Amino acid sequence: MLTGMVDASWLRVLAVNPTVGLPSLVPKWCSVSHVNSTMPVYIFQQGLTKGISSIPFGWPIVKLAPCLALIYLLKWWFGGAVNTSERKMHSKVVMITGGTSGIGAEVARGLAMRGAQLVLLTQHSLTDPFLVDYIEDLREQTGNHLITAEQVDLTSLHSIREFATKWVDNLPPRRLDMIILCADTRTPPGGKATVTEDGLEPTWVVNYMANFHLLSILSPALRAQPPDRDVRIIFGTCSSYMGGQLFDSPTSSTAAGSSKKNKTANGSRSKKSTSGSIYSTSKLAVMVFAQAFQKHLSSFTRPDKYPMNARVFLVDPGWTRTPGMRRFLTFGSLWGLFVYLITWPLWWLILKSPEQGAQTFLHAAMEAEYGRGEGGWMLKECRQYNITRSEVKDEEAQKRLWAVSEETIQKLEKEGAKRRATEKSKQKEQDKTDGKVNGKATGNDKQTNGGTKQRK
């Protein structure tokens, strides 16, 4: 008989169906919500007093609990650090590459939720249904309508110059508080070798050359910002940079799988270039360039004599379940995708989600501490890390890489301009030929009609 306390078995029944039981014996304070909230206490009490066997599925739960706890701890460990920094982002203009998928999309979402004005650089046409829907969804989810896009093909030097020149030529100079470079690509192991319209390997162009070309042109826009503005340039990198090898002419890196050999910085011949070696080298190159670009900005003397207010960051997000990572793990094949799906619980456990991978980017964008200092910091797990490779800080390597990259871009742009001029002239000749053919056809039609009338 119940005296002031309801038996645990009756509480379980009442929790499932409150209409069952002896209502007259249940105190007024014992509502269903109260029963549900205190249920673990009664279960624990019953386990202590009557033994675990008295609890339904008690022993299986006890045996399974350590495994669940271990999985939880591993997931927490591999998930990495969480950004705790906050900063008012309202009215701040942030330019993002790779902002429509993976880590870049989560960075864009995080900044948009804090009120930043986003300019997404994307290869998609501005009328592409995917891009239109993506921006509309992002605006609705974040409540921020200051999200726009610009079409820039990062595999095309000409496309990058067109956009960057248009941005720089604006008077007065457009506001630009931050550039976040999240765009990243990699040819999967054993993938088919391809080249861009400029004759370069896509991984090398997107991961390094596009960043070099874009920032080289946008440099005046960054230096023109007011002295009280905290300008930040954030590069995405990867721990694979430690396996990279800078060449005398890294822009001549052969496509993945090519049998050609390249000269290294010391003049010796490197091994056959693979997708992995090119990817590692591109990450090493972007880190060397980031340090050089920080020196380039810091050496500028402002007309108002204020110190330079632009700072460069290198961010390693860690191993993350991005589309690029999935393409790498599956080797770009259907069989690889099948194996990936079977082993997905493992990847879910040890790889970060895109949201977790974006935390260090958000930390670099919002941490107030980084609004002071010389810049050039390497960040991982929301804190500073030392750079392993000595070439990254080597001033000679920085100058050599900058000079070679600049020379290569100038050469390729001249070749591209000639190619476009030739194609344009051919198109004009084709249009003239088509016009003449159409004119003759029209003339023949008139003669035929006239001949018919004469016969009549």
Ordered domains of the chain (ranges, CATH): 1-54 (no CATH), 93-409 (3.40.50.720)
Q: How far is CA 183 from CA 121, 187, 267, 328, in A?
A: 9, 14, 31, 16
Give start and end residues of each alpha helix (H) in 128-205: 129-142, 157-168, 202-204
Cα torsion 338, 340, 341, 342: sign: positive
pLDDT of residue 42: 63
Q: Where are the beta strands (DSSP E) in 80-199?
A: 93-97, 117-122, 147-151, 178-181
Predicted TM-score (pTM) of this structure:
0.79
Q: What is the model's pLDDT at position 37?
A: 53
Residue 380 among the catalytic residues: no
**Residue 128 has what pLDDT?**
93
Q: Residue 207: what residue type? A: N
Confidence of residue 40 (pLDDT cuts 50, 70, 90): low
Averaged pLDDT for residues 112-138: 95
Per-residue tokens: 321: 């379940």
Q: What is the pLDDT of residues 400-443, one digit of tens each?
A: 999 999 999 999 999 989 998 888 888 888 877 877 666 665 55
- Rounded to an integer, what distance in angstroms lies between the CA atom of residue 163 and that of residue 214? 9
- Least confident interval from 319-323, 325-329, 438-442, 452-456: 452-456
- Amino acid 234: pLDDT: 97
The tokens for 185 are: 């690509």
DSSP-derived pairing of the beta strands 383-384 and 377-380: antiparallel
Work out the burial of residue 118: count CB atoms within 10 Å of its CB; fewer than 13 is exposed, 13-18 middle, 19 or more buried: buried
Say how far apart CA 152 and CA 121 lie, in whole Å: 6
pLDDT confidence of residue 64:
80
Label residue 101 by pLDDT band (50, 70, 90): very high
The tens digit of pLDDT for each residue in 229-286 reads: 999 999 999 988 888 888 644 444 443 333 344 444 433 334 567 888 899 999 999 9
Catalytic residue among 260, 283, 393, 418: 283
